[in-house]
Amino acid sequence: MRGTVWKPEGVRIEPGIIAGSVRFRDAVANGLPLGRIGSLEVRLTRSAEEVAAAQQVRYRVFFEELGARGGLASERRDADRFDDICDHLLVIDTALPGRDIDRIVGTYRLLRDEMAAASGGFYSSGEFELDKLVARHRGRRFMELGRSCVLPKYRSKRTIEVLWQGIWAYVNTYGIGVMAGCASFHGTVPAAHAEALSFLAHQCRPAPEWDVRAVADRYCQMDLMPSEAVDMRAALAAMPPLVKGYLRLGAKVGDGCVVDAEFGTTDVFIILPVETISARYIAYYGAEADRFFQA
């Protein structure tokens, strides 16, 4: 869930509308379009070349724009070992010239639990005890969302909607029951985000069976202010769009935050069981996908 843009006002989601669609499963399996808004199209990568192009988009956002350290600087790519086991969702602006690898304007990384189990775990497990949550809910299928980014010119509701057409298509295709992952505040000083973090700690915690704690040696307190001292409006105004958007969907936040020095961020953990998604976001994506595949 780490990313820079996610603000789904007016976005609604309906579980199950497209689950079981043969055409839809074929589209996911073969990298065919999963949704479209105007000139923007969303699909999964089809080749290693396209994964590399997505990594270059991530490098432009995380390293060149936001100042992260590391990556494959010589190739201008943000890459790690998880890229080989994840699926990569692309937003492509078909109005731009050139090949699709030159027209990628946004990307999201998707990691299903069975892929993680076969390849050494989840990315988020380096910061949060996600494996314990998965173990408590063995009958559920989990998906980790990560490396969310959109190029500056495309940071709009339309781009986020088309990304989530693709995510919701993927969720339905694979029967995902829980979405989870890290979301970030910019900067490595939690106290700089005291009001927003305290609001999350006091108002956005899950029930015990869904709780996730930061790993012990990286745990940082989030409740930096007493509940009565937190101004809700100010806290929400200071919230990154990615975090605020997930809260609107009904997501909860784990126990403690983690400083990621490499990316220059303070990370929190987002937990979103699919059945808890807020009712006002129900219907839009399922209906849009249904119309798209009937077109």
Q: Residue 100 maps to which CATH number?
A: 3.40.630.30
16 domain-assigned: no
| Among 5, 2, 6, 42, residue whose Cα is nearest residue 249 | 6
Please check whether residue 225 lies inside any domain of the structure: yes
Name the H helices within 119-240. Answer: 130-136, 157-174, 194-203, 232-237
Nearest alpha-carbon partner for 169 in 287, 263, 79, 60: 287
pLDDT at 281: 62
Residue 15 lies in a domain: no
Please tell me the distance from the alpha carbon of residue 175 to that of residue 268, in angstroms, as a whole number: 25
- CA atoms of 10 and 20, how far apart (whole Å): 26
Q: Is residue 267 part of a domain?
A: yes
Q: Would 202 be classed as within a structural domain?
A: yes
Confirm whether 107 is domain-assigned: yes
Query: What pLDDT, on a 0 to 100 scale, did the predictor assign at position 156?
Result: 87
pTM: 0.86
Q: Which residues of the chain have pLDDT under 70?
A: 1-24, 278-295
CB 40 within 8 A of CB 91: yes
- The per-residue pLDDT for 94 is 97
Q: What is the pLDDT of residue 211?
A: 97
Condensed to tens digits (0 to 9), the pLDDT of residues 220-264 reads: 999 999 999 999 999 999 998 889 888 988 999 999 999 999 999
- Asked, for residue 184, whether it belongs to a domain, the answer is yes
Over residues 19-35, the pLDDT tens digits come to 445 666 788 888 889 99
**What pLDDT, on the 0 to 100 scale, is given for residue 11?**
37
Q: Is 5 within a domain?
A: no
Please tell me the total count of domains within the chain.
1
- Give the burial class of 85: count Cβ atoms within 10 A of its Cβ; 0-12 exposed, 13-18 middle, 19 or more buried: middle
Percent of the chain with pLDDT over 70: 86
Cα–chain center distance at 185: 14
- The whole-angstrom distance between residue 223's C-alpha and the CA centroid of its chain comes to 24
Domain containing residue 156? 22-294
